[in-house]
A and B are shown apart, each in its own frame.
Chain A
Amino acid sequence: MVAKFLRAALTRRLSDAADLCRATPPESTAVTVPVKNRSGCTSVVILGNGAAGAEKQAVALAEALGLPYKTVRLVPSRAAMLLPLRAQLALQAVFGPKALGIEVLSPPFPLLAISCGRASVPASVALREGSTGATATVHVQRPLCDASYFDAVVAPRHDYRPHAVLPPSVVLTDGALSGVGAAALEQARARWETRALALPRPRIGMLIGGPVARRWWQRPLAPALDPVSAASLVRSAASAASASGGGSLILSASRRTPADATAVMSAELETARSRGLGVWQWRGEEDGPNPYLGMLAWSDYIIVTPDSVSMASEAVSAAKPVYISSVDGCRGRFAAFHSAMLASGRVRWWPGGAALEAPELWSGLRGGPAEAAVAAQTADGCAVAPSEGDTLRAARRVAQLLLARAALGWSELNPPTEARLRAVAKTGARRRDEAAGARSSAGTRRELPAPLPLSVYLALSEVCAPLLAAASAAKAGRPRVFAQALALSHGEAGASLWAGGGGGSSGGGAGGGPPSDARYTLWVHGASVGETLSSLPLVRALLLADSSAHVLITASTEAALRRLALERLGPRVVLRPRPVDAPSVLRRFLAHWRPSALVLLESELWPALLTEAQAASLPVALLNGRLSPSTARRWLSSASLHATLAALLGSFDVILAQSPPMADVLRALADDDAAAPAWVGDLKQLRGGAAPTVAQLEALRRDLGAPRSLWLAASTHAGEEEAALDAHALLRKAHPRLLLLLAPRHPERGARVAALANARGWVTAQR
């Protein structure tokens, strides 16, 4: 009953996709064709709200991803607009999406939904839940609800308070996303060449906005464009052109521009024409197709009114000197946007009437003082303008997210889609690479406080350090170890816990530190036998490359230290148990061993260790990095866990994943300003432990009754043992005395495998 009432009141109308074609400039490539991918579903769905400014950004993101998309427009009823978004989401959580008139269709679900505007939020949330995660959701611009309702949010920095602590799923941009990339501009330049070449230079482009739609009781965020200021803007541009000895005025008004302002500006342009200046104006559809991009491409200077973030962003992307016509009277996000753009030097304030300033005065432009900065941001040698950089960066983060979700089995990518996403995931400059650039990357995440779970962990571990040491010693079941572990937690970091652990590798001796002649000490830590053994090729290579280098290997299990002790690593390798993960213990441990660098293996992401290593400026590498799929899913879908993991991954100087899919997952989990996780190969494929000795081989051959002919089925799993036994039956026809050695991957399955063989009539022996 309640649901029925709500549904009647709040239903969203789906309007025709053709609307969008009318809403966007005809020249843009945003014609929405519902293309299907191989699995039969459209890859990307844009959930629009009808506001061209927002939808254009969603389209720019979809186009930067290069995946087929279609647009669905959601026009909510008046009642839905009156109800706060949070209330709508609460209703939806209780009564289901149908209460809001949203129906989630059956699979196949799209890979990605890009929503923009508050009307689209309930549908996006419903799709994310209804598809049980098959569809990733991205919201463009700051949503009026918590960011955790989406898999990612792409929003401009000026929409948030400075230094706000944001979850890693929020991708911050400098301006609005735009599809105005180098390619689109080049196309427009060719298309409008004849028109533009008739205009003498310098060509001054004016992009005119209009009042910002707000509720009547709210003060506008930007001053309204009245006829007087409109006229004075055109007049001042004309006098600036005249001051340079003639030129042209180009004017593009938007749908929002008030009619009286347009009329006054047209009259002023006529005056300018009569004084010999070139004029190119577009008033609306009656003047033919919108030459907006052509105007951007052919203008030498661009003046933008302060009431449009997206036009200013587009002008900046066009890599032109950009003026803001007046910044007085702007408030809120507009004021923040302008001050950031003015501070970066990429935009200047229109001085009105004075002579045009040389393009060299703008930072971030080719030929300007910050050319090096532009070069730093270029990909493949072509300049990337900041706003295009924004779009590429957002697209890259979304592509990384989609690849990680596919690696974790949430969705499936067909080969062309995967290839496309891989290409996008490599484009654009990363924040970390840009740090030295002209645009100040003030407030990057690294300077932000640690996420709450991390701070809590660090505080608790400090308090519990003695208990943790006792617990690990109790697990080892040795009172002597218990005493020493306790001593360790109190700072005698050098105490050798396992007498046997020294073996041939006694190193610094009991209680000793690194020898004084150690110029380079590498600390390697792995959880257990497999991990630490996999590091030995690197350890041996280091010992060989630098005859004074020392290596400290720590492990969390006693078995690992016992196994390593058999490896004859020599006197320059020291084996120790892992120090308790508490800040003060690690500070003492680091002060004692003075390592030059730290290598962590696989999933050893110890928070206190990483925090202390960073505090001590110790370079840290994660090798063969991996997370179990279930862990990765959990961390990726919870904002606070994701933030914690991103902070941990951010303390590494280099991250190498164990496998390509794991690299995809780590890339999506790591922040944009962290070291980029890469995959170069699996260390475990190298020989870790020593090869068997001649004596061992001889003994084995004797046991097997060599020289009898034999073959081996190694590392087998269920299904493969049957295949091996059947193949063996076939082989015995030609080789009657043939022996099969069957070595299942998991030794605990030995008895079951033997039973399987017996059931087929083979005589088995286990060794």
Chain B
Amino acid sequence: MYVCDTLGELEALYSAAGVAFVGGSLVPLGGHNLLEAARAAGGCAIVHGPHLASMREAAARLGATEPPASRQVDGVVELAAAVGALLADAGLRDRSRAAGVAATAELERGLLLRVWDAIRTPLGLPPLQTPTPLTGVASRL
């Protein structure tokens, strides 16, 4: 078992693991960023708890893909069952990861567009170019 307490390595860890539980969601803290997991290079199949106040839209979209890019669980047994199913079936895991990458690209573009639309006129910004690469260096991977 590894305890990873280094900063700024999370995305690489998601990428390397391919299956991850995202915290802040089994305890009522609103959930941490599901998109960060889903967009990791190669994707990451997500398991999360029920408390996702700040991630509702993302959880709904990621949970609605086929196969689901994210799965909601409550409690230890369900957590183990969901992770176990993903570990046992490499095909399912890979399809979940790919579905998450696709859904995330769309979610991110939607969010950036909404922010841009809200500030564009008051700040006198130019129209947004589409498609917008959101991923910086990762687009080369």
Contact = CB atoms under 8 A, between A and B. Distances in A.
A178 to B, nearest CB: 35
Interface stretch (A116-124, A125-133, A316-324, A688-696): A688-696
Among B57, B86, B136, B138, max chain A CB count under 10 A is at B136
A745 B27 contact: no
A537 B122 CA distance: 19
Nearest to A542: B125
B21 A724 contact: yes
Given A690-B137, A738-B87, A706 B116 contact: no
Place the interface of chain A in its size category.
35 or more
A758 to B, nearest CB: 9
A730 B73 CA distance: 15
B92 interface: no
A705 to B, nearest CB: 10
Given A711-B83, A715-B32, A687 B136 contact: yes
B103 interface: no
Contacts of B8: 689
A582 to B, nearest CB: 25
Among A549, A713, A718, A719, max chain B CB count under 10 A is at A713
13 contacts: A619-B124, A654-B119, A700-B9, A704-B2, A734-B88, A739-B1, A741-B1, A743-B9, A743-B13, A745-B23, A747-B5, A748-B5, A765-B2
Place the interface of chain B in its size category.
35 or more
A730 B80 contact: yes
A767 interface: yes
Interface of B: 1-17, 19-24, 26-27, 29, 32-33, 35-37, 39, 41, 44, 49, 54-55, 57-58, 75-77, 79-80, 83-84, 86-88, 108, 111-112, 114-119, 122-129, 132-138, 141
A740 interface: yes
A704 B4 CA distance: 11
Nearest to A683: B115
Given A687-B138, A716-B23, A730-B80, 11 more contacts: A522-B125, A619-B122, A621-B122, A689-B136, A697-B16, A714-B20, A714-B22, A754-B3, A757-B1, A765-B1, A765-B2
A743 B10 contact: yes
Contacts of A619: 122-124
A598 B101 CA distance: 33
B129 to A, nearest CB: 5
Interface in A51-89: none
Given A541-B112, A623-B115, A680-B118, A694 B141 contact: yes
B101 to A, nearest CB: 12
A18 to B, nearest CB: 44
Given A623-B115, A764-B3, A714 B87 contact: no
A42 B134 CA distance: 50
A723 B47 CA distance: 13
A405 to B, nearest CB: 18
A541 B133 CA distance: 8
A164 interface: no
Contact of A682 (B37, B54, B132): B54
Contacts of B19: 710-712
A190 interface: no
Nearest to A658: B54
A685 interface: yes
Given A596-B124, A681-B114, A711-B20, A739 B135 contact: no
Nearest to A684: B33
Nearest to B75: A723
Q: Which 9 A-B pairs have the closest CB atoms?
A: A750-B5, A691-B138, A712-B17, A716-B23, A730-B80, A597-B123, A715-B32, A653-B122, A747-B5
Contacts of A653: 122-123
Nearest to A725: B1
Among A681, A717, A735, max chain B CB count under 10 A is at A681
Contact of B23 (A536, A717, A762): A717
B14 to A, nearest CB: 6
Contacts of A536: 136
Contacts of A596: 123-124
A568 B75 CA distance: 43
A723 B24 CA distance: 12
A545 B126 contact: yes
Contacts of B2: 704, 739-742, 764-767
A538 interface: yes
A180 B75 CA distance: 54
A544 interface: yes
A553 to B, nearest CB: 15
B27 A687 contact: no
A717 B23 CA distance: 7
Contacts of B44: 712
Given A724-B21, A727-B79, A687 B119 contact: no
Nearest to B121: A654
Contacts of B79: 723-724, 727
Interface in A492-544: 520, 522, 536-538, 540-542, 544
